[in-house]
Amino acid sequence: MLIKREFETVEMPINVGPQHPSTHGVLRLVMTLDGEQIVKVDPVIGYLHRAVEKLSENLRYQNIPHLFDRLDYVSAFNNEWPLAMAQERLLGLEVPPRGEYLRVILCELNRIASHFLFFGAFGHDAGTATSWMYGFRERERIQRLFEMVSGYRMMHDFVVPGGVREDVPEEFVPALRALLPVLWQGLGDCNNLLTENEVLVTRTRDIGVITGEEAISYGLSGPSLRASGVREDLRLTEPYSVYPDLDFDVVLGQHGDSYDRYWVRMQEVAQSLRIVEQALDRLPGGLVCTPGLPKYPKLLKLPVGETYARAENPRGEFGVYLISTGGDRPYRLKIRAPSFCNLMALPRLMEGHYLADAIMILGSLDVVMGEVDR
């Protein structure tokens, strides 16, 4: 008589803990693994919570951009802009054209810098430390330009309601013009390194696939949504600032997998470089900020009202909901952070995949915990 013994396997709960080289900040994933396959994953967030929304209720409006820089710390200019837009809407301000163009240039440069950081982190998760260095090499060049403009490489505190804080120095425009071909070449290097690399394609094709309708229902936005084929870009669908005058393409993916999310971001760098070139050519002279706004030590007081202003961050739709009851401090400042909403799709994306794929999926979503936890 043959005795058949059944192979008994046990599902193993594992903790991809807050301290992990590739969780892009402090994110904890409680996974249940069956061998190598993920059965269930629970993201646990809150390790970087700094009570930005509550703190803003106690800060004067002139001090809040300083906190907002630290939300999505990778792309600081893009965080300040919706805040300024919300305040402008309540005050009924018109931004002078030079201010608008400068905002566009700086925010698109920051988008490029943020996507280079994504490239670095993504390649690093895949296994090459080289891509980290290439991405940051380009990012450093852009940050040096930012230091020329605002004094800081990362936390700028520069976009204020009415325009930008001060005009760019004279050496900025020639320096930026000289930098653009270097950035094109850097983008070419990065593309040569990873975009067609068969190993990377094998690692990321058909991993973490999500269809367009599902992506919308999960609240995805930004490049992760566009990779699933949904043509949704706030710069086109709800144009703000001078984007209607600028000519650029919205990059769409076809499969909605991790490779497409990576590919869309790399193409967006090229598009952003086009935008910067056009904006630089059209940069008008004149004021950079609406005149007559109270500057420190005079306090900025907003009228009573509430508004929601949103912009296209490198990670998606960044929104600021501002309730003002008069006075120099907001009553409520709610932040709609794109990474927070993108992270909601993580369990759906990861189910059924292997542990190694999970890391690639998380990398392709490009979450920054600063804005997830606020």
Q: Tell me how far CA of residue 40 lies from CA of 19, 51, 347, in angstroms.
A: 20, 30, 7
Among residues 45, 207, 346, 368, which is the contact residue for another protein, using CB under 8 A? 207
Q: Tell me how far CA of residue 243 lies from CA of 159, 302, 344, in angstroms.
A: 17, 27, 30
**C-beta closer to another protein: residue 63 or 307:** 63
DSSP letters spanning 99-130: HHHHHHHHHHHHHHHHHHHHHHHHHHHHT-HH
Give the pair of three-digit tokens for residue 368. 């920054």
Contact partners, residue 356, CB within 8 Å, separation at least 6? 36, 203
Residue 62 amino acid letter? Q
**C-beta closer to another protein: residue 194 or 343:** 194
Work out the angle between the directed axes of helices 97-126 and 129-150 (0-180°, nearest 10).
160
| Smallest separation (angstroms) from another protein to the CB of 164 | 13
Using the rule CB under 8 A, is 182 a contact of another protein?
no
| Smallest separation (angstroms) from another protein to the CB of 146 | 9
| Smallest separation (angstroms) from another protein to the CB of 60 | 9
| Smallest separation (angstroms) from another protein to the CB of 330 | 16
Using the rule CB under 8 A, is 143 a contact of another protein?
no
Using the rule CB under 8 A, is 202 a contact of another protein?
yes
- Is 309:336 a contact under the CB 8 Å cutoff? no
Among residues 53, 189, 306, 328, which is the contact residue for another protein, using CB under 8 A? 189
Using the rule CB under 8 A, is 7 a contact of another protein?
no
**C-beta closer to another protein: residue 124 or 336:** 124
Using the rule CB under 8 A, is 200 a contact of another protein?
yes
Residue 227 amino acid letter? A
Stretch that binds another protein, among 93-101, 102-110, 192-200, 221-229 (CB under 8 A): 192-200
Nearest C-alpha neighbor of 307 from the set 56, 92, 52: 92
User: Residues 18 to 57: which contact another protein by CB under 8 A?
Assistant: 20-22, 36-37, 39
Residue 30 amino acid letter? V
First vs last Cα of the chain: how many Å apart? 65
Residue 324 amino acid letter? S
Using the rule CB under 8 A, is 203 a contact of another protein?
yes
- Is 72:315 a contact under the CB 8 Å cutoff? yes
Backbone angles phi, psi at 305, to 5 degrees: 160, 175
Q: How far apart (Å, rounded) are the C-alpha atoms in residues 340 and 222?
A: 12
**C-beta closer to another protein: residue 174 or 297:** 297
Nearest C-alpha neighbor of 346 from the set 13, 14, 35, 45: 45
User: Residues 336 to 365: which contact another protein by CB under 8 A?
Assistant: 351-357, 359
Using the rule CB under 8 A, is 194 a contact of another protein?
yes
User: Residues 113 to 142: which contact another protein by CB under 8 A?
Assistant: 123-130, 133-134, 137, 140
| Smallest separation (angstroms) from another protein to the CB of 357 | 6
CA 221 remoteness from chain centre? 10
| Smallest separation (angstroms) from another protein to the CB of 119 | 12
| Smallest separation (angstroms) from another protein to the CB of 23 | 10
Q: Which residues form the interface with another protein (CB under 8 A)?
A: 12, 14, 20-22, 36-37, 39, 59, 62-63, 66, 123-130, 133-134, 137, 140, 144, 147-152, 157, 169, 189, 192-203, 205-207, 295-297, 351-357, 359
